[in-house]
Chains A and B, each alone.
Chain A
Amino acid sequence: MSATEILFLVFAVIAVGSAVLAMTSKQLVHSALWLVVTLGAIAGCFVLMTAEFVAWVQVLVYVGSIVVLVIFALMMTRQPAAGPSAEVTGNRWAAAVIGLVAAGGLGATVVAGFEGERIEGQRIGTAGSLGDALFNDWVLAFEVLSLVLLAALIGAIVISRAGSDR
């Protein structure tokens, strides 16, 4: 077992553990922070899988902005009278079963499909190579994506305005 593998396993354990905590923690902000840990661990995994650029984007976009947004949102929607009510709904047992089945099913699928395969990792996903791919091969999707972001932005603005009573 190589060092990469050991490192990957460590990241994996961290990711899973913090994800579980993020999804079960009673403290809302803690959840968000645990999620940061998960996302960071995943970014580490990306690096180990030769996807450096993606890892950077993951850290920047997710950890840097999305989670911050989320924390703000959590703050803003904190209910004044929020008692010790459980942060999970009555649906949790069903959710647990479904989650387990989903994980188990997917796990079984990938085991059935890809057991014994190994990642050799010759082609490193650097910013350059990805940029090539993006602007040569995937430029249409990229352009569309920009429109998606614009539309989502305007949508978010207009929705926020919709809530304000004028």
Chain B
Amino acid sequence: MNIPIDWAVAGPATILAAGAVIALLVDAFFPRRTWLGSGLPATAALVAAGLELFRLHDDVGQGTFALSLIILAGSLFVVVASNVMNFENAMPPGEYHFLLLSSAAGALLMVSARDLVTLIVSLELLSLPSIALVGLRHGDRRAIRSAWTFFFASVVATAVTLMGISLLYGAAGTLDYEGLSVGLQTTEVPHSVVTVAVLLTIIGLLFKLGAVPFHMWIPDAYLGAPILVAGFLSSVSKAASIGALMIVLEAALPSAYGTWSALVAVVAAASMTIGNVGALRQSNAVGLLAWSSVAQAGFLLAPVAVSGSIGSQAALQYLAAYVLANLVAFAALAVVLRLRGSTDYDELRGLARTDPPTGIPLVLAALTLAGFPPAIIGLVTKYVVIQPVIEADKTWLAVVMAVNVMLGLAYCLRLVAVLFDKPQGEAYVSPSPPFSVRIAKAVVILGALGIVALSAWPALLLSNLP
């Protein structure tokens, strides 16, 4: 018996790792502390990894391919939009991009891992650099405190997961997915032990996903992190976690379906409810997105809870729309943060009127997250995730989802209202925004166009994701 090492799937990750090191080195020799020195190599690495991924299209599974694509696209978006952040005196660009790419490589490996050992190591590769990224801002107490919170919660979750993995190993004698799925069926170990093992194992992934009750680090981390790192955490990191979770549950633990299905459903319901309720009183756009991402984790988990190929397909499609909208929102907020110094509602008031290129995409993103026309793609993906839940006869979960659609709209609407409100005081006009801001804005608009295009032809997304 031999662990089949899937070198093919490691290709893009390898490119990313190499790109990370190159970015770090180029930056070290680059005269100016700007995005350019490390950002360009990072961008190149991501593009190359993407090309490599397409080259491998037939070798990797459809699900993995889609997830990898989402991860790469999300990372690319983050890297390019990072232009707007203040590298001059707050953050070292080389390290920033190195950590970002390392994390992205970890994300890629998580969804291509076919055994729990690789999974846990990749998970750490995703986590540790992102923890460092959260605490990256110089001289910022809030950043370092957030990093501490994130770090500590993360290592505890990892420890618990490892305990689960060790028990699984005990029960099945192996840790690769196929072996597990066979081993758990034939094992003589009692069912309750397998249950404990399975549940402890998925906790690490639920933690990264930010599902209730492992969500508490999310608002702290998002608010303390550099804004696009928060975007990264909410998109790429979540994509990797939900993807890995889907793969683990389906490939390794199908025999324990009865165990995890109900509990994932409960966690999903709790996540969306608590996330939405938590978001209700936020008056900072990032805080809002943080809580909303907890809720979105619930929506992502719901179809996973009922599994089956339709379930994971639905989760993937939802994920794609969510990642796009979320990144557009974060990038737009990054522009606001750069120009105005805060993402509080008071700063956002009237943004859609005074600065439509930033404000309107933000509106579109908020509506997509809420699942509300005219952002039809948000609505369609909500439909898509409710469908398998209904088909699996989990009506109660569907109703909870419906109620949460309402709750989600409540706060998104508040944001939209603020954005369209009459600007207070004199409108801030940025004195000829730097080039980097323009690039970020272009990225935001591009993302918004993506939302519009998907809203006009939802089939574009639905037919092309597996």
Residues on A facing B (Cβ under 8 Å): 105-106, 109-110, 112-114, 136-141, 144-145, 147-148, 150-152, 154-159, 161-163, 165-166
Contacts and interface: CB of A to CB of B under 8 A. Distances in A.
Given A141-B118, A151-B99, A163-B144, A158 B92 contact: yes
A145 B118 CA distance: 9
Contact of B139 (A138, A141, A162): A162
B92 A156 contact: no
A113 B193 contact: yes
A159 B132 contact: yes
Given A113-B167, A139-B5, 13 more contacts: A109-B167, A112-B192, A113-B193, A136-B2, A137-B5, A138-B3, A138-B117, A144-B106, A151-B20, A155-B128, A156-B132, A159-B144, A162-B138
Interface in B118-154: 118, 121-122, 124-125, 128-129, 131-133, 135-140, 143-144, 147
A162 B135 contact: yes
Interface residues of B, number: 48
| The 4 residue pairs across chains A and B that have the minimum distance between CB atoms | A155-B132, A113-B193, A151-B102, A158-B95
B10 A140 contact: yes
B196 interface: yes
Contacts of B132: 151-152, 154-156, 158-159
B171 interface: yes
A148 B95 contact: no
B156 to A, nearest CB: 12
Interface of B is mostly: helix
A148 B5 contact: no
Contacts of B260: none
A54 to B, nearest CB: 14
A158 B137 CA distance: 10
User: Which of A136, A140, A157, A158: most chain B CB closer than 10 A?
Assistant: A140
A162 B143 contact: yes
A116 B2 CA distance: 29
B102 A147 contact: yes
Nearest to B130: A155
A113 B197 CA distance: 11
Contacts, number: 105
Contacts of A152: 128-129, 132
Interface string B301-316: 0000000000000000
B457 to A, nearest CB: 39
Contacts of B190: 112-113
A58 B128 CA distance: 22
Contact of B189 (A105, A114, A151, A165): A114
Contacts of A154: 24, 95, 98-99, 132
Contacts of A136: 2
B29 interface: no
Given A109-B193, A113-B171, A161 B17 contact: no
B102 A113 contact: no
B7 interface: yes
B339 interface: no
Contacts of B163: 106
B336 interface: no
B109 interface: yes
Contacts of A141: 115, 117-118, 121
B136 A140 contact: no
Contacts of B20: 151
Contact of B136 (A105, A112, A138, A158): A158
Nearest to B128: A152
A131 B372 CA distance: 56
Given A154-B24, A158-B136, A162-B137, A147 B17 contact: yes
A154 B190 CA distance: 44
B68 to A, nearest CB: 16
Given A113-B171, A155-B131, A156-B132, A144 B109 contact: yes
A148 B121 contact: yes
A110 to B, nearest CB: 8
15 contacts: A106-B163, A114-B170, A136-B2, A137-B5, A140-B10, A141-B117, A141-B121, A144-B118, A151-B98, A155-B129, A158-B136, A159-B132, A159-B144, A159-B147, A165-B139
